Amino acid sequence: MKSLLQKLTGIPGPSGYESEIRAAIRSEIEPLAEEVRVDNLGNLIAIKKGNDPKGQVIMLAAHMDEIGLIATHIDPNGFVRFTTIGGVFPHSSLAGRVHFLNGSQGVIGQETPADINKIPTFDKMFIDIGATSSKDCPVQVGDLAVFDQPFLDLGDRLVSKAMDDRIGVAILIETLQQIDTSPNTLLFVFSTQEEVGVRGASTAAFSLEPDIGIAVDVTRSGDTPKGVKMEVALGKGPAIKVRDSGMISDPRVVDWMVSTAEKAKLPYQIEVLERGSTDARAIQISRAGVPAGCISIPCRYIHSPSEMVDLKDAVNSVRLLVELLNQKITFNQE
């Protein structure tokens, strides 16, 4: 999965501008599904039909967009002022390198601070692309950029920008490759605009009307020095979400995931996330409601240019998904 992940994280795809990453994913999945299509909001949908007419329709979602920046003003000296696309943080942005979708590159600088120990706000930052004036600046207002960092292979630990959520995308691609037949009809959705409000998953779930929903996304970890107090760590298995700030997972889905992991002797963790949410929230409240849950990949330095995951967690997530999707499953409505 490393080479696939390196390929996926290297492709720019800020929210609303996912065409390049969508094309790359499509080339990977086209031979694996009965139908592949793109909907009006740009979601890439692959359908694998089940072999049991009484099987469930299961929607699996991993978002392909990433956080980014957008130019708001070019000053007379060619410095680019910007605002954010999604959850970008000032403390992890300063001095970071960026890559504009038009090919321009630059570095994030700041105005001379009154207090060097204080993190500047974005209105005190700019992007320096080496221009000397607004006339020779190749960036225009409205141009988008993503962070520009090389993929770092530290053995099982892998670091890159856009691990959120290209790790989820890679897991769904690997799952689609490993499932030959299933009693359930499987809807693999590579969604758009998750980072700006789970927009793609909202329209996809409304259109597809699944019986069950599963998101695959990253979550925070509590395993760094004096880090957030959270019972999730890299390398200890996929995290089964119970709650985040946007949803409470359906207890039936949680029990199904836990019992399946235990039966298959797969490592897992229980996740309670205090900040943030996923596409599962959008699926859960679609139409009349959908039983939904989430398989989360522990990630350090989330929403930064250098997000870290453990490859073993991704591999075990694929194994868990294959076990789940090959089951006949019905949920008691009471």
Catalytic residue positions, numbered: 194
Q: How far apart are CA 76 and CA 258, in angstroms?
A: 59
Amino acid identity, residue 183?
P
**In what helix (H) or strand (E) does residue 111 lie, and over which residues does it extend?**
none
**In what helix (H) or strand (E) does residue 50 lie, and over which residues does it extend?**
none
| CA–CA distances in Å: residue 115 to residues 112, 118, 120, 295, 327 | 9, 6, 9, 42, 59
Q: How far apart are CA 271 and CA 192, in angstroms?
A: 24
Q: How far apart are CA 108 and CA 79, in angstroms?
A: 10
Instruction: Tell me whether residue 173 is exposed, middle or buried, using C-beta atoms within 10 angstroms of its C-beta: 0 to 12, 13 to 18, 19 or more.
Output: buried
Amino acid identity, residue 299?
C
Q: How far apart are CA 302 and CA 92, in angstroms?
A: 10
Say which residues have a Cβ less than 8 Å from residue 127's Cβ, sequence separation at least 6.
69, 71, 79, 80, 81, 82, 98, 106, 107, 108, 109, 139, 145
Cβ pair 189, 175 in contact under 8 A: no
Q: How far apart are CA 140 and CA 120, in angstroms?
A: 24
